[in-house]
Amino acid sequence: MNKLTVSPSPHVHSGDSVKKNMYGVIIALMPALLASLWFFGVGALVVTLTSVAACLLFEFLIQKYLLNRAPSILDGSAIITGLLLAFNLPSNLPIALIIIGAAVSIGIGKMAFGGLGNNPFNPALVGRVFLLISFPVQMTSWPLPIASRMSYVDALTGATPLAVLKEGVKSGQSMAELTEKIPSSINLFLGNMGGSLGEVAAIALIIGLAYMLIRRIITWHIPVSVIATVLIFTGILHLVDPQQYVSPLFHLLTGGLLLGAIFMATDYVTSPMSHPGMIVFGVGIGVITVLIRVFGAYPEGVSFAILIMNAFTPLINKYIKPKAFGEVAKPVKA
């Protein structure tokens, strides 16, 4: 007989693994990737492949040569970072910039803190915001959907609906005038608008959300609280003055809100651990997003909102605890 193995209980495991979760997210990102290929064609393909490959390469190099660890690039997390970074970029971004973004994402956003599990900020967003601040021109020239399918850097560009709106409100145009300039709701829902390549197709992102919820990769708390907060906040503004403030549905479908709420805010590492904490986190993201969009200088605020709330995550974890068993004990009948 073999020597018996002795270990503390439990002696069985769910079979869940980091890889399964990571690849689950990757599968959930596929509908959005297909939509981006449909709308932005070659550009989307080049940007996505470059970003993913660069993220994998940097992760491998840093793990192997800087940290002297066994590289674990196939755990899927670098692929997700690469995909999410690409989804947050315009499809005509020069390759060099994508590589810089990937280097910042993986090098500064993730590995500098000790790798998977230790980074305080969402790595893809760190890279994206770095690029946005460093290269504002390239980062805000958006290729037109469908029209520029077959071209990469020299694509025809236009503004995103949110930018059109922001400029318009600033220059005093009425909401009725502006509504004609921005795409219809159905086009917004399908993704037929200018924007980062992964953020445009609401329907594809929602399919991804459904998949992740069914597979129990994430819980509903963060996406629902982000979306609900944005809807309620912009809804109140819209009710107060429909001429000044656009409808909540428009806010929901534009500017990467869904991408952020579903894929970026729910990043395991940088989001809170308890369900009440997740809701606080989501509400915070929603509020900050609307504040930036409506009152701030940038037309778009999801990335910043998520990064700001990432910074609050340790605080939320410290003070907002899950509901403990027995806290609401009913009094005993005498």
Partner 1 sequence: MLKTFSIGGIHPAENKLSAQNPIATLDLPAQAIVMLAQHIGAPAEPVVQKGDIVKTGQLIAKASGFVSANIHAPVSGTIEKIDDVADASGYKRKAIFIKTDGDEWLETIDRTPDLKKEISLSPAEIIQRIADAGIVGMGGATFPTHIKLAPPPGKKCDILIINGVECEPYLTADHRVMLEKGDEIMVGIAILMKALSVNKAIIGIENNKPDAIAHLNKMAQAYQGISIMPLKVQYPQGGEKQLIDACIGRQVPSGKLPIEVGAVVQNIGTALAIYEAVQKNKPLIERVITVTGKSVSTPGNYLARIGTPMLSLIEASGGLPVDTGKIIGGGPMMGKALTSIDIPVTKGSSGLLIMPDREATRQPMQNCIRCAKCVSACPMGLEPYLLMVLSQKGIWDRAEEEKVMDCIECGSCSFTCPSQRPLLDHIRLGKNKVGQIMRSRTK
Partner 2 sequence: MSVVMITIATLVVLGATAAVILYAAAQKFKVYEDPRIDQVEAVLPAANCGGCGFPGCRAFAEALVKADDISTLLCPVGGAAVMAQAAGILGKEAAATAPMVAVVRCNGNCDVRPKTNNYDGASSCAIAASLYGGDTGCSFGCLGLGDCVDACQFDAMYMDEKTGLPVIIEDKCVACGACVKACPKIIIQLRKKGPKSRRIFVSCVNKDKGGVARKACEVACIGCGKCEKVCPHGAITITNNLAYIDDEKCKLCRKCVEVCPTNAIHEINFPPRKEKTTEEKTEEAPAN
Angle between helices 95-103 and 77-87 in degrees, nearest 10: 130
Distances (CA, A) of 306 to 184, 257, 319: 27, 10, 19
Letters for 76-95 (x = contact with partner 1 by CB under 8 A, - = none) are -x------------------
SS3 245: coil
Q: Which candidate, 168, 166, 162, 305, places its Cα nearest to that of 225?
A: 305
Nearer of residues 14 and 171 to partner 2, judged by Cβ: 14
* Total number of residues shown for the chain: 334
Distance CA 280, CA 104 (A): 28
Nearer of residues 93 and 126 to partner 1, judged by Cβ: 126
| Closest distance to partner 1 from the beta carbon of 283 (Å) | 17
Does 331 participate in binding partner 2 (rule CB under 8 A)? no
Does 328 participate in binding partner 2 (rule CB under 8 A)? no
Contact of 115 with 60, CB cutoff 8 Å:
no
Letters for 4-23 (x = contact with partner 1 by CB under 8 A, - = none) are xxxxxxxxxxx-xxx-xx--
| Closest distance to partner 2 from the beta carbon of 9 (Å) | 9
Distance CA 81, CA 69 (A): 20
SS3 185: helix
Letters for 1-40 (x = contact with partner 2 by CB under 8 A, - = none) are --xxxxxx--------------------------------
Residues that bind partner 1 (CB under 8 A): 1-2, 4-14, 16-18, 20-21, 75, 77, 115-118, 219, 268-275, 278, 317, 321-330, 332-334
